[in-house]
Amino acid sequence: MTQADNRRSWIASANGHPDFPLQNLPLGIFSPHGASPRGGVAIGDAIFDLKVACDAGLFSGEAADAAQSACGDSLNALFALGTSARRALRAQLQELLAEGSPAQERLEAMGQALLPSMTTCQLHLPAHVGDYTDFYVGIHHANNVGRLFRPDNPLLPNYKYVPIGYHGRASTVCVSGTPVRRPIGQTMPPGQTEPNFGPSKRLDYELELGIWIGQGNAMGDSIAIGEAQDHIAGYCLLNDWSARDVQAWEYQPLGPFLAKNFGTSVSPWVVTAEALEPFRKAQPVRPEGDPQPLPYLLDDADQATGAFDIELEVLLLTAAMREQGLAPHRLALSNTLNMYWTVAQMVAHHSVGGCKLQAGDLFGSGTLSGPQPEAFGSLLESTFGGKEALTLPNGEKRTFLEDGDEVILRARCQRDGYASIGFGECRGVVLAAR
């Protein structure tokens, strides 16, 4: 049983903060006042500057090595150091920032140089993404989408044996706040015999959990299921934008291509596995009759603690809503407990054939819909393939995204007796096609 950590911070805004209390301390890359990008830690409404802290000699031992590795413009070097270094850094950060810390007076005197306000800083992509893989582990999403095309047989036979995934485009992974331009491509409208070419008319979002890889493996080696957790650096929110009409025409026989390669948005803060420890759960029991995972995907400890209880939320803010001063409208509320496969199973399967994973590689979970319409993680599901429009509070209707729409993803972990932690936001506005 995880013991509750209810320490408070001498940074007032951290206490009771919805996302970034002392118990979270997610990592990211930021630029203070237009300076060069460097590593930082979110704490309340501020960012703890790791470069300034290193220059001031605030860390020692393994934590100092970890902090120094994060002083550049990406977290790849820190990710590569592995779990022990990350834990050492976290422990010393909590000592420095906790209420009653012996270093409090010194740190307070450093002021904005050490702890700039988050509102004055620019946030960047946390790591250089060498490769990006999108999985399909949301069982309800897989069923919902399958029913649109195969009403009598929504899941293909391999789904319950294999964590399905495809390699996406790493070059278009972008940080929250980066606009996403409507893609252009080929589509085959119903009743036609030749495709059209032009802007996608069925642009969609996908509510996903992002997984940042830490230490990798050598080409030809594999990562055992029981060791997979040690290869995960942390987690984020991920929106894998999708052009459904382009996808419908191109995906057979080799799967997604242009429909998925134009943009993938991620939240800027990397929430560590240590911060999520109190919110681990047993992997949901498979329905009766489902096959047991093959031995290389089955580990007792992973089945007992490999799932997470993370609440996931999708909101929409249209251009008209912005002009009217309206708040974003919630479209869906789901949870990571809707994952059919654990993150460790995804890592083990990805590497089992000898695929080389590297620090900074990114996985997407696939769309994490719940079983009810109010928990559907894409418009493809919520509008039943575009057949039933959603009505927004201001009277606007949507089957798919329109230019000027802003999609906002949020996530939060809550448990009685524990400080709640959040992921921040993952936002993106749709721009018109060129």
The pLDDT score that the predictor gives to residue 152 is 81
The pLDDT score that the predictor gives to residue 4 is 84
Could you identify the residue written with the tokens 């805004």? 13
Residue 160's closest CA among 337, 336, 48, 286? 286
Rounded CA-CA distance 206/380 in Å is: 9
Task: Return the CATH fold of 12-124.
Answer: SH3 type barrels. (2.30.30)
Would you tell me how many other CB atoms lie within 10 Å of the CB of residue 161?
13
The pLDDT score that the predictor gives to residue 26 is 98
Pair of tokens at residue 144: 């919902």
Task: Produce one character per residue of 225-244: b if its CB has 16 or more CB atoms within 10 Å, e if not.
Answer: beebbbbbbbbbbbbbbbbb
Which residue ranges make up each domain of the chain? 12-124, 138-431
Pairing status of strand 173-175 against strand 264-266: parallel
Helix (H) or strand (E) holding 352: none
300: helix, strand or coil: helix
Tell me, yes or no, if 167 is annotated catalytic.
no
Residue 419's closest CA among 39, 1, 2? 2
Residue 99, burial from CB neighbour count under 10 angstroms (0-12, 13-18, 19+): middle
Tens of pLDDT, residues 237-294 = 999 999 999 999 999 899 999 999 999 999 999 999 999 999 999 999 999 999 999 9
Among residues 124, 128, 140, 141, which one is catalytic? 141
For 275-348, strand residue ranges (E) read: 280-281, 307-308, 311-317, 329-335
Amino acid identity of 8?
R
Q: What is the pLDDT along the chain (434 residues), one digit of tens a residue?
A: 467 899 999 999 999 999 999 999 999 999 998 899 999 999 999 999 999 999 999 999 999 999 999 999 999 999 999 999 999 999 999 999 999 999 999 999 999 999 999 999 999 999 999 999 999 999 999 999 988 878 888 898 999 999 999 999 999 999 999 999 999 999 999 999 999 999 999 999 999 999 999 999 999 999 999 999 999 999 999 999 999 999 999 998 999 999 999 999 999 999 999 999 999 999 999 999 999 999 999 999 999 999 999 999 999 999 999 999 999 999 999 999 999 999 999 999 999 999 999 999 999 999 999 999 999 999 999 999 999 999 999 999 999 999 999 999 999 999 999 999 999 999 999 999 99
Amino acid identity of 252?
Q
The pLDDT score that the predictor gives to residue 132 is 98
The pLDDT score that the predictor gives to residue 2 is 65
Round to the nearest angstrom and report the end-to-end CA distance of the chain: 54
Q: Describe the crossing of helices 83-97 and 61-69 by its angle, rounded to 10 degrees.
A: 100
The pLDDT score that the predictor gives to residue 34 is 80
Give the gyration radius of the chain's Cα atoms.
22
Beta bridge partners of 174: 265
Question: How is domain 138-431 classified at the architecture level of CATH?
Answer: Alpha-Beta Complex (3.90)
Can you spell out the DSSP letters for 70-136?
Answer: TSSS-SHHHHHH-HHHHHHHHHHHHHHHBTT-TTHHHHHHHGGGTS-BGGGEEEE-SS--S-EEEE-
